[in-house]
Each structure stands twice: as structure tokens, then as C-alpha cells.
């Protein structure tokens, strides 16, 4: 189970969850945090990046522990040589298919290490993370003409 209010744990769960998915997700490199120039140049595949979640509110439960609302950016960075706009479209539809279906996103199994404990075949639900919605995509302007980026914001509680 993730530690309370630990953004790194939440992010790591999503990175491992996406990394464990089958094609076309396996055709992309899942990067935790901002993919700077070094990461983009070293990447052998198109890059999907997961940024740290930002707390957007608190959910008060009577008699229970307070849970937080979080917003987390999941983006896609591709060059024209690696697929360009058509690959962006593939990413877009796969993100929506994944996150708009609660059974798929909450039931996807992955392995993650949290605070020196390895959880095998765990799910977001077992880790106390619930996806409540997704917004986007927004097309992000890039400096390089051959770069293409889009981002989604995933809404969740943890």
C-alpha cells in the first residue's frame, strides 16, 4: 500500500502499471518525471511521461481518514521520424480506452516496489489509488518542428 500523501509512490504505481501493459504500450518507453533532452535522446522508443501528481483538494470522510484529490499529467512525446501525428492519435485513443474504463484501469496488474517492499501482481485499487476521470488531450506547442506532444490530466483520489 502506498504511503500517505506520497507523490512518488503514486507516480511510481502509474509508471509500473503503464509499463506492464501490452502493445501498443509496450512499444513506448514509460518515463517517470520530466523527459529532458538526455532522456529523449537516449530513448529507443517514443516517450510517455508521467509527471508528479499535484494535490487538488481533500475528501472528507466521516469517521475515516482524509483522502486527497490529485491531478496528474500523462504526456506523449514523439518525433516525426518515429510516427509523428499518427502515433499521437494511437496514443490518444489508447489513453482514453484505458482510463475511461474503470475495470481496465483499476484491474491492470503490475509489480511495484514501495518503501523496500515489493508488491507483485498488485493493482491501483489494492494500492489505494482510484482513477476518477481524465481530461484532455491538449496539444502542446514544441520548439522543434518535428516534435509532437500531447498531454492528458488524470484525476484520481489516494
Binding to another protein (CB under 8 A): which residues in 139-158? 140-144, 147, 149, 151, 153
Is residue 38 within 8 Å of 25, Cβ to Cβ? Answer: no
Under DSSP, is residue 70 helix (H, G, I), strand (E, B) or coil?
A: strand
Candidate list 22, 37, 63, 117; residue touching another protein; CB under 8 A: 37
The DSSP 8-state label assigned to residue 141 in this structure reads: P
Binding mask 57-86 for another protein (x = CB under 8 A): x-----------x-x---------------
Looking at the Cβ atoms of 64 and 141, the one nearer to another protein is 141
If one asks whether residue 36 binds another protein (CB under 8 A), the answer comes out as yes
Which of 18-26, 31-39, 82-90, 99-107 is the region at the interface with another protein (rule: CB under 8 A)?
A: 31-39
* CA distance linking residue 25 with residue 94, whole number of Å: 8
Looking at the Cβ atoms of 121 and 143, the one nearer to another protein is 143
Q: How far is the CB of 147 from another protein (least distance, A)?
A: 7
Is residue 50 within 8 Å of 11, Cβ to Cβ? Answer: yes
Which residue pairs from 97-104 have beta carbons closer than 8 angstroms and sit at least 24 positions apart in sequence?
Answer: 98/21, 99/131, 99/133, 99/134, 99/152, 99/154, 100/134, 102/131
Is residue 18 within 8 Å of 31, Cβ to Cβ? Answer: no
Residue ranges in contact with another protein by CB under 8 A: 34, 36-37, 40, 51, 54-57, 69, 71, 140-144, 147, 149, 151, 153
Amino acid at each position: 500500500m502506498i504511503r500517505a500523501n506520497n507523490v512518488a509512490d503514486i507516480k511510481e504505481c502509474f509508471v509500473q502499471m503503464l509499463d506492464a501493459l501490452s502493445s501498443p504500450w509496450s512499444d513506448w518507453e514509460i518515463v517517470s518525471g520530466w523527459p529532458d533532452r538526455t532522456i529523449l535522446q537516449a530513448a529507443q522508443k517514443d516517450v510517455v511521461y508521467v509527471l508528479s501528481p499535484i494535490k487538488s483538494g481533500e475528501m472528507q470522510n466521516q469517521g475515516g481518514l482524509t483522502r486527497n484529490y490529485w491531478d496528474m499529467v500523462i504526456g506523449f512525446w514523439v518525433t516525426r521520424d518515429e510516427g509523428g501525428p499518427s502515433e499521437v492519435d494511437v496514443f490518444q485513443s489508447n489513453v482514453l480506452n484505458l482510463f475511461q474504463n474503470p475495470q481496465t484501469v483499476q484491474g491492470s496488474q503490475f509489480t511495484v516496489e514501495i518503501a523496500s517492499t515489493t508488491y507483485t501482481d498488485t493493482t491501483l485499487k489494492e494500492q489505494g489509488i482510484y482513477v476518477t476521470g481524465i481530461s484532455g488531450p491538449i496539444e502542446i506547442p514544441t520548439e522543434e518542428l518535428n516534435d509532437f506532444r500531447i498531454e492528458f490530466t488524470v484525476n484520481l483520489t489516494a
